[in-house]
């Protein structure tokens, strides 16, 4: 990658939440959804700080992006920046791989424990002042199928394993300790917990549909920390409402924010969180540090970290 002469121009899709100072010797153009196209024209770098925004494809098509050589999204998922025009563009795409692994794994462990020990039920009873003794379940000897064999999926598998679960890890293709995605139908009937932590790609879009849900045992619960598009949401709602599966913990949805009239809000067997599973105290500092490290590499003409394989939709190899 050639070194940019003079000050690199960095367009930042920031929204209301803006990153701290990006250092000296950089021209920063802060933009929201409406003026991103203007900021992109003549920019060398696009930093997608507001990674929940859908503005990049529209702005990219409206702007002169011939000079842009690097796009960084401050998220693990890259589905919002791997639209056809950018996949075909020579600019490299990088992501925040490595920042969210442990926090998301802790979230998954937390909701798994919460369901196993019926903490949602205890909170409802406490709110009513009702003393009702129940029996709960143990995690030891249970099976979790974790779809997604990247750093987040592996961190989840490690933490669930420490809690006593047997973990079956599923990835794009079979490898040491990893099942191929094609083997998922054979694994679902034995899954007490199905954890979705895969990137959203053409292969994973809508992977959890009625056919897949019908393979799960009735006591199974689903945890989605990947992307809302991994799930056919009406099929999941029907399975939850009909008792086809026992419950779900959902941090991501097809439409975000989750509409107020969604039945998921009021289901007693569902935990809803607003896309926050990886957002722990200090996460913005970690994202900024990661970007600044890559920015220094960009300015020095050195290889970038966390380069996304555009044909796959995720980063290959170690973080």
9-99+281-315 and 101-272 share one CATH topology? Answer: yes
3-state DSSP assignment of residue 213: helix
**Which residue in the list 85, 87, 124, 256 is annotated as catalytic?**
256
Q: How many residues does the chain have?
A: 319
Q: What is the rounded CA–CA span in Å between residue 298 and residue 93?
A: 12
The ranges assigned to domains in the chain are: 9-99+281-315, 101-272
Catalytic residue among 29, 142, 221, 275: 275
In the predicted model, residues of the chain with pLDDT beneath 70 are 1-5, 318-319
- What is the crossing angle of helices 151-162 and 101-116, to 10°? 40
Assess whether 288 carries a catalytic annotation: no
Nearest to 178 by CA among 145, 216, 203: 145
275 is catalytic: yes
Whether 284 sits among the annotated catalytic residues: the reply is no
C-alpha 118/C-alpha 297 separation (Å) is 48
Q: What is the tens place of the pLDDT at every residue in 62-110?
A: 999 999 999 999 999 999 999 999 999 999 999 999 999 999 999 999 9
pLDDT at 319: 45
* Third-level CATH fold of 101-272: Rossmann fold (3.40.50)
Say which of 154, 179, 227, 288 is annotated catalytic. 227
Q: What's the rounded Cα separation, in Å, for the pair 52 and 203?
A: 22
- Distance between CA atoms of residues 143 and 166, nearest Å: 5
Q: How far apart are CA 279 and CA 62, in angstroms?
A: 32
189 close to 212: Cβ distance less than 8 angstroms? no
Bridge partner residues of 167 (DSSP): 144
Query: Rounded to an integer, what distance in angstroms lies between the CA atom of residue 83 and that of residue 78?
Result: 10
CA distances from 116 to 17, 123, 140, 146, 163 (A): 36, 14, 11, 17, 12
**pLDDT reported for residue 5:** 55
Which of 3.40.1390.20, 3.40.630.30, 3.40.50.300, 3.40.50.720 would CATH assign to domain 9-99+281-315?
3.40.50.720
């Amino acid at each position: 990658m050639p070194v940019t002469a003079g000050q690199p121009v960095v367009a930042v899709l920031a929204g209301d939440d803006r990153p701290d100072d990006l250092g000296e010797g950089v021209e920063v153009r802060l933009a929201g959804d409406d003026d991103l196209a203007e900021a992109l024209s003549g920019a060398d770098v696009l930093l997608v700080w507001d990674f929940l925004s859908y503005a990049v494809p529209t702005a990219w098509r409206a702007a002169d992006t011939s000079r842009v050589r690097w796009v960084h999204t401050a998220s693990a998922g890259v589905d919002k920046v791997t639209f056809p025009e950018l996949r075909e563009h020579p600019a490299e795409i990088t992501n925040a791989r490595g920042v969210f692994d442990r926090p998301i794994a802790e979230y998954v462990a937390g909701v798994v424990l919460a369901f196993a020990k019926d903490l949602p039920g205890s909170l409802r009873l406490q709110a009513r002042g009702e003393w009702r003794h129940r029996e709960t379940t143990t995690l030891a000897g249970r099976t979790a199928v974790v779809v997604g064999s990247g750093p987040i999926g592996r961190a989840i598998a490690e933490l669930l394993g420490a809690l006593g679960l047997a973990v079956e890890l599923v990835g794009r293709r079979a490898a040491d300790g990893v099942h191929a995605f094609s083997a998922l139908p054979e694994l679902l009937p034995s899954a007490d917990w199905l954890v979705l932590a895969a990137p959203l790609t053409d292969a994973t879009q809508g992977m959890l549909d009625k056919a897949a849900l019908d393979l799960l045992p009735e006591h199974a619960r689903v945890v989605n920390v990947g992307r809302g598009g991994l799930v056919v949401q009406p099929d999941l709602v029907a399975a939850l409402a009909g008792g086809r599966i026992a419950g779900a913990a959902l941090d991501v949805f097809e439409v975000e924010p989750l509409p107020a009239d969604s039945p998921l809000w009021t289901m007693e067997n569902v935990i809803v969180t607003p896309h926050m599973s990886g957002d722990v105290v200090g996460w913005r500092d970690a994202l900024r540090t990661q970007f600044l490290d890559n920015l220094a590499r960009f300015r020095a003409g050195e290889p970038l970290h966390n380069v996304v394989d555009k044909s796959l939709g995720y980063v290959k190899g170690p973080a």
